[in-house]
Chain A
Amino acid sequence: MRTAYNRFRMSLTPQRILSVLFIIGLGYLVIVPLFLMLRETFIVHPLERFQIPGSQVGELTLAHWKRTLFSENAYAFFYHPLLNTLKIAFGMSFLALAIGALLAWLVVRTDMPMKGFIANAAIIPYIMPSWTLALAWITLFKNERIGGDQGIFSALTGIETPDWFAYGTFPIIITLSLHYFPFGFMLIGGALRNIDAQLEESAELLGASRPTILRRIVMPLALPAIFSTFLLTFSRGLGTFGTPAFLGGPVREFVLSTSLYANLIGQRPGIGYIAAVAMILLGVLVLYMDHKIIGTRRSFVTISGKGARAGLVALGRWRWVIAAGVVIFILGTIVVPICALAIDTVMLRPGIYAWENFTWHYWIGDASLNIGLGTGEPGILRNSQLMSALGNTMKLAVVVAVVTGILGILVGYAIVRMRGNWISQALDQMSFLPYLMPSIALGAIFLAMFAVPRGPIPSLHGSFLLLVIVCTVSYLPYAVKAGVSAMRQIGPELEEAALMAGASWWTRMRRVMIPVQKSTYFSGMLLPFISVTRELSLLILLVTPATQLATTITLRYTDRGWYPYTNGMVLLLIIIVVTSTVISRRVMGTNIAKGLGG
């Protein structure tokens, strides 16, 4: 008995204590919300009571599930949106993967020119909000069906685009994959770079052809990265709302997230959260498959290759043609949406593309009721409210980036050091869960959780800290991925050597573990940083006048149709984010790719 107690006492190493603390913390911030959400699906809410005869508000009920899964209209309510969701999620994941992998292969394994530029630019589509591409698509390809000004393509060619091309599954998949292909590019690029050239060379010596090597050696080795990419994009595809609603509505292409929104707006959260639960379950399923299929094999890609880089595939006289094609493709996915945004901000009256209609009014003009849209608002750059909201956004983004970055290191440390232990697995999977939670649901639940003091936690309502906590939980998956991949690359001996030298845990982290993989950690902070700058639905319920953010404040312009302001703010954010990414690459050697564990 005593030895058992002693054994327990002596097993309390920093990493164990840390892991247990993380499990408790994540349990509170991830599992509890999940449970609360699930509970809502079994409860009668005020407006739901009318559809459940004889029920009382707050009662337990199975009616929501019955209605959604087994009613006569279950296909329309649930299964059809579910199928559409799967179609879109699979479609965009495969396309994004294909584009990302092809680009990665071209950049890493061929002698294509302009690689540096391409590698940098290929990440920008992810930096821009995903709906900008949807907006650009409509501007380019819309047809008579949704009326208004002609689409640019039709205006130029005189050809009416067919509906299936302009709206619905096809453009949703295209625009989402154009937004998410950087994931594949970064992860698979990283994997290709890490594959020891000797592995390919020995296959070549055995007489394997290039395609055979690609298929039998490179593909299997890159498989973990391919699966990671798939997992990341697929999960995003499950939860995305804006693009499917915007492009799918005109041809009635509805997804699970529409069901979630519709029922939340209809004040039927019990029904709405079932859609959220379904999205989470699908994500968990993919996560589980990923663990089953890849599982322990994941580590071999991240071993930094010692062997020399394999000989680059010569593209011959096609190399410039291919490079030009790639550059056009990437610039297209960047420049077109940016132009679609920018043009609105310099047109006095929207839709009139004449020189005399050109203006800087929406950027630097005085407040006026007589010019342009007559908004009575000063130009963006002179609008103190907008600028202070932008300041808040930046503050939040930086704080969240640093906090998630640090947590990512620590959680990554715990996961890697405790490998093989249930704690490690629990942490690994729990820290990925927030990635699967629809943010609109998460925001509401956090509001409920943190509005009152609970135990040792005071009420954080209305505080900046709450925004930080919510964003941190939401973007932790990115930082943990970076942390895990960084820690995997540090052999345990590096830390043990410091331990032998008498360095405390804190000293080891500070002087060895963190500096060794500095750039990876900084990279892990980039994605949370980018994501915060464009977060809306997660935070809308939590901001106060003092903590207004760029995204929440522009709502007031969106609902009046004053798009020059909304678009201008988005442009400013894009500029700031791209600039910070470039600066951090120069100064800190960061690389978003590493931030994903690539």
Chain B
Amino acid sequence: MLNKKITRTCAAAVTAMGIALGASGAAAQDEDWAQIEAAAKEEGALLVYSTTSRTAKAAENFSAMTGINVEVVRLGEQDLIQRTYQESVAGVHDVDMVVAEDWVAARELLANPGYMINYVPPTARELFAEEDKDPLVLGYIGRVFGYNTEKHPDADPLSSVWDLTTEEFRGRVMIRDVAITGEHQNALTEWVRRSDELAADYERRFGKPLEMTEDNAGLEFIKRFLENDAIIMTSDTKISEAVGAPGQDNPPYGMFYVYSKHRDAPLQGLKISDSRAIQPTLGYYYPIVLQLSANAKHPNAAKVFMEYLSTMEGFAPWADSPGVYSPNPNQVPFEGDMPLSWWKEKMWHYDRDFAAENRGIVLDTWLKYAQR
């Protein structure tokens, strides 16, 4: 057992050196990567807070390769931000880096006050698009609309998001409660920001202009969607299972559930497909971001781990399902999935500043109609 481990570690170390050599060219400008790597070995263990459980797997692989031990604490989005924020305020600097979601909130609470700083490791510097560098993106998560393929074997039943507000879909659309899903709140701010496009799509679909009682088409959608008896759930898994379960006469439709649930669809016999025809957005994507603690006790080890996560090898634990995309252009998409660039064209993201300013309004509108 021990022997095996040592062999594996040696093999991994060799690979790591390879990566380091390959990367060093790009990193050479203002930092000595070799020195960082050496310092990282000295620093030893690393503490990471992460919203995604796969970080633990990546950390395991990383440790086996480099001998740097990484401890990962799995926290919910809000818990991670809250905990890191409270600890930073209190001057407790145990955590070295975070793998966070809900960047809108994380930026406000962690980055803007200077508790967390951005770092772009060599591989990312060389290969990533500018927009994926600040904050450094580990990967993007895609959230989609989905339908049951037994009910709709031939054609995609959705052509506009406004379809979901029609009588035909009354009481048939499921969404994870926006009130308890920070990223949904962010995503819907984009619907407010791009209100005109949304209104235009309404006109395209129904041939008449959108009549609004709310301030803009985004909020109008929230209102109509909820008034159309949307079903509010607490888990994406339950949504994909409900949508895809075979043998249903009148299966529901899913909105904004994580596309990665489709990985298990064949295993579970789920008859589910995401809508590729729906306009004006196929859903939304949002980043999982990596941030370095400004007061990290093991900054070099954290940097090396961030570098590792930027490589395809480091991304491997996330690469085993659709709906998760590395910003590394060399990454091959999951079998049957499209590359990130394709999705970026067809899916809305959100504007951080606009989202920060407006998600309160989105949440209030949601609560106003959901709890009425």
Contacts and interface: CB of A to CB of B under 8 A. Distances in A.
A and B touch in the complex (CB under 8 A): yes
Interface of A: 46-48, 50-51, 73, 75-77, 80-81, 144-150, 245-246, 249-250, 252, 254, 258-259, 261-268, 349-352, 369, 372-374, 376, 444, 447-448, 451-452, 459, 461-462, 540-541, 543-545, 548, 552-553, 555-557, 559-561, 563
Contacts of A351: 241, 245, 268-269
A261 B360 contact: no
A48 B269 contact: no
Contacts of A47: 104-105, 108, 356, 359-360
Given A448-B90, A556-B74, A266 B368 contact: no
Contacts of B236: 561
B173 to A, nearest CB: 11
B207 interface: no
Given A76-B371, A245-B177, A252-B371, A556 B364 contact: no
Contacts of A560: 53
Contact of A556 (B56, B245, B358): B56
23 contacts: A76-B372, A146-B231, A147-B242, A148-B242, A149-B245, A250-B231, A261-B179, A261-B180, A262-B177, A263-B363, A264-B82, A266-B363, A351-B245, A448-B90, A451-B90, A452-B91, A459-B92, A461-B92, A462-B94, A541-B75, A544-B71, A556-B53, A563-B237
Interface in B154-205: 171, 174, 177, 179-182, 185
B368 A350 contact: no
Contact of A541 (B47, B82, B363): B82
B243 interface: yes
B89 A448 contact: yes
A374 B264 CA distance: 9
Interface in B222-251: 231-238, 241-243, 245, 247-251
B92 A561 contact: no
Contacts of A444: 82, 86
B351 to A, nearest CB: 13
Contacts of B264: 373, 561
Interface string B246-282: 0111111000000001001001110000000000000
B252 A147 contact: yes
Counting chain B CB atoms within 10 Å of each CB, the highest count among A77, A444, A556 belongs to A556
Contacts of A77: 364, 367-368, 371
Interface in B76-111: 76-79, 81-83, 86-87, 89-92, 94, 104-105, 108-109
Chain B residues touching A, range:
35 or more
Interface of B: 47, 52-53, 56-57, 71-79, 81-83, 86-87, 89-92, 94, 104-105, 108-109, 112, 171, 174, 177, 179-182, 185, 231-238, 241-243, 245, 247-252, 261, 264, 267-269, 320, 356-361, 363-364, 367-372
Nearest to A138: B238
B92 to A, nearest CB: 5
Nearest to A144: B250
Contact of B105 (A267, A540, A557): A267
A48 B238 CA distance: 32
A16 to B, nearest CB: 35
Nearest to B360: A51
Nearest to B185: A266
Contacts of B180: 245, 258, 261-262, 265
Contact of A545 (B73, B92, B108, B269): B73
